[in-house]
Chain A
Amino acid sequence: MTRRNRWKMFFPIAAFAVALTLVAAGCGGGGSKSSSTTSSSGGGSTTASGGKTFPNFRLAYDTGIDYLDPALSYTQEGWEIMWNVYLPLIGYKHVAGPDGATIVPYLAQDLPKVTDGGKTYTLTLRKGVKYSDGTPVKASDFAVAIERDFKVDSPGVGFFGNIVGADTFSKNPKSGHISGITTNDKTGEITIKLNAPQGDFTNILATMFAAPVPADSPAKDASTNPLPSTGPYMIQSYKPNKQAIVVRNPNFDAALYNGNVPSGNPDKMTIDIVGDDTVALQRVISGQDDYDYHQIPTDRLATTQQKYPDQIKVYTPANTYYFFMNNRVAPFDNLKVRQAVNYAINRDALVRIYGGLAQPTENVLPPTYPSYKKHDLYPYNLAKAKKLIAESGQKGASVTVWNHDRGNDPKATAYLTDVLNSIGLKAKEKIINSGVYWSTVGNQATKAQIGFADWFQDYPHPLDWIDVMLNGDRITQTHNNNYANYDNATVNAKIADLKQEPTLTDSVNSQWATLDDTIIKDAPWAAFLNRQFTDFFNEDMDLSCYVNHVLYVFDFALICKK
Chain B
Amino acid sequence: MAQRAESEFTLDTASELASAERSTEIRGRSPWFLAWRRLRRNWVALGSLCVFFAIVIACLLAPVYAKHVAHTGPNAQHVLEQITVNGESRQVVSSGGYIDKKSGKPCVISGPECTLISAIPIGPQWFSAGGRFVLGADAIGRDVAVRLLYGGRTSLFVGIVSSAICTLLAIVLALLAGYFGGSTDFVITRFFDLFFAFPVVLLGIALGAALAVNGLHWGPIQLEGSNIWIPTLIISYVLIPYVGRPLRGQVLSLREKEFIEASVAQGARPWRIMFVELLPNIASSVLVFFTLIIANNIVLESALSFLGAGVQPPTASWGTMIADGQQLIVTRPWLALAPGIAIVLTVLSLNVFGDGLRDALDPRAKVKIEH
> Which residues from chain A sit less than 8 Å from chain B, CB to CB?
15-16, 297-303, 305-306, 309, 312, 314, 346, 348-349, 351-358, 405, 408, 410-411, 413-415, 417-418, 421, 428-433, 436, 440, 532
Do A299 and B139 touch across chains, with their CB atoms under 8 A apart? no
Name the one of B109, B110, B115, B140 contacting A415, with C-beta atoms under 8 angstroms: B140
15 new A-B contacts at CB < 8 Å, known A356-B96, A431-B308, A432-B213: A298-B96, A298-B119, A298-B120, A298-B327, A299-B332, A301-B118, A302-B118, A348-B80, A349-B141, A352-B93, A353-B119, A411-B140, A415-B140, A431-B312, A433-B213
- Inter-chain CA distance A312–B110, complex, in Å, is 12
Do B213 and A415 touch across chains, with their CB atoms under 8 A apart? no
Do B225 and A430 touch across chains, with their CB atoms under 8 A apart? yes
- Inter-chain CA distance A421–B76, complex, in Å, is 10
- Chain A residue contacts of B187, Cβ below 8 A: none
- Chain A residue contacts of B117, Cβ below 8 A: 301-302, 305, 356
- Chain A residue contacts of B96, Cβ below 8 A: 298, 301, 351-352, 355-357
- Chain B residue contacts of A430, Cβ below 8 A: 225-226
Is B341 interfacial (CB 8 A cutoff)? no
- Chain A residue contacts of B116, Cβ below 8 A: 301-302, 305, 312, 314
A-B contact pairs, 10 of them (CB 8 A): A299-B331, A346-B80, A352-B93, A352-B119, A353-B139, A356-B95, A356-B97, A405-B308, A415-B77, A428-B226
Interface of A is mostly: helix
Do A314 and B110 touch across chains, with their CB atoms under 8 A apart? yes
Do A357 and B118 touch across chains, with their CB atoms under 8 A apart? yes
Name the one of A349, A355, A436, A440 contacting B118, with C-beta atoms under 8 angstroms: A355
- Classify chain B's interface size: 35 or more
- Inter-chain CA distance A341–B140, complex, in Å, is 18
Is B328 interfacial (CB 8 A cutoff)? yes
Name the one of A356, A418, A440, A532 contacting B76, with C-beta atoms under 8 angstroms: A418
Task: Given the known inter-chain contacts A297-B327, A305-B117, please indicate yes or no for A349 contacting B80, CB distance below 8 A.
Answer: yes
- Nearest residue in A to B109 (C-beta to C-beta)? A15
Q: How far is the CB of B106 from chain A (nearest CB, A)?
A: 9
- Binary flags per residue of B39-78, CB closer than 8 Å to A gives 1, else 0: 0000000000000000000000000000000000001110
Do A418 and B115 touch across chains, with their CB atoms under 8 A apart? no
Name the one of B94, B213, B314 contacting A417, with C-beta atoms under 8 angstroms: B314
Do A429 and B312 touch across chains, with their CB atoms under 8 A apart? yes
Give the residues from 122 to 153 in chain B that come closer than 8 angstroms, CB to CB, to chain A: 139-141
- Inter-chain CA distance A405–B312, complex, in Å, is 10
Report which residue of B93, B119, B225, B329 has the largest number of chain A beta carbons within 10 angstroms of its beta carbon: B119
Is B212 interfacial (CB 8 A cutoff)? yes
Q: Kindly list the 7 A-B residue pairs having the minimum CB-CB distance in the complex, ordered from nearest.
A: A356-B96, A356-B119, A349-B79, A352-B119, A356-B97, A305-B116, A301-B118
- Inter-chain CA distance A3–B310, complex, in Å, is 29
- Chain B residue contacts of A352, Cβ below 8 A: 79-80, 93-96, 119
Is B233 interfacial (CB 8 A cutoff)? no
Report which residue of B115, B118, B139, B332 has the largest number of chain A beta carbons within 10 angstroms of its beta carbon: B118
- Chain B residue contacts of A357, Cβ below 8 A: 96-97, 118
> Which residues from chain B sit less than 8 Å from chain A, CB to CB?
75-77, 79-80, 93-98, 109-110, 115-120, 139-141, 209, 212-213, 225-226, 308, 312-314, 327-332
- Inter-chain CA distance A314–B114, complex, in Å, is 13
Q: How far is the CB of A242 from chain B (nearest CB, A)?
A: 22
- Nearest residue in A to B80 (C-beta to C-beta)? A349
Q: How far is the CB of A297 from chain B (nearest CB, A)?
A: 7
Do A305 and B140 touch across chains, with their CB atoms under 8 A apart? no
Q: How far is the CB of A178 from chain B (nearest CB, A)?
A: 39
- Nearest residue in A to B314 (C-beta to C-beta)? A414
- Nearest residue in B to A534 (C-beta to C-beta)? B116
- Chain B residue contacts of A300, Cβ below 8 A: 330
- Chain B residue contacts of A410, Cβ below 8 A: 313
Report which residue of A16, A299, A348 has the largest number of chain B beta carbons within 10 angstroms of its beta carbon: A299
Q: How far is the CB of A137 from chain B (nearest CB, A)?
A: 43
Do B327 and A299 touch across chains, with their CB atoms under 8 A apart? yes
Do A418 and B327 touch across chains, with their CB atoms under 8 A apart? no
- Inter-chain CA distance A421–B314, complex, in Å, is 13
- Inter-chain CA distance A429–B209, complex, in Å, is 15
- Inter-chain CA distance A421–B73, complex, in Å, is 12
- Nearest residue in A to B98 (C-beta to C-beta)? A314
- Inter-chain CA distance A409–B226, complex, in Å, is 18
Q: How far is the CB of B10 from chain A (nearest CB, A)?
A: 82
- Chain B residue contacts of A348, Cβ below 8 A: 80
Q: How far is the CB of A514 from chain B (nearest CB, A)?
A: 27
Q: How far is the CB of A256 from chain B (nearest CB, A)?
A: 39
- Inter-chain CA distance A306–B99, complex, in Å, is 13
- Chain B residue contacts of A411, Cβ below 8 A: 139-140
- Chain B residue contacts of A298, Cβ below 8 A: 96, 118-120, 139, 327-328
- Inter-chain CA distance A415–B75, complex, in Å, is 9
- Chain A residue contacts of B225, Cβ below 8 A: 430, 432
- Inter-chain CA distance A532–B141, complex, in Å, is 21
- Inter-chain CA distance A440–B212, complex, in Å, is 14
Do B77 and A414 touch across chains, with their CB atoms under 8 A apart? yes
Q: How far is the CB of B334 from chain A (nearest CB, A)?
A: 13
- Chain A residue contacts of B120, Cβ below 8 A: 298, 302
Name the one of A15, A305, A417 contacting B115, with C-beta atoms under 8 angstroms: A305
- Chain A residue contacts of B139, Cβ below 8 A: 298, 353, 408, 411
- Inter-chain CA distance A16–B209, complex, in Å, is 42
Q: How far is the CB of B186 from chain A (nearest CB, A)?
A: 38
- Chain A residue contacts of B329, Cβ below 8 A: 299
- Chain A residue contacts of B308, Cβ below 8 A: 405, 431
- Inter-chain CA distance A362–B118, complex, in Å, is 23
- Chain B residue contacts of A532, Cβ below 8 A: 97
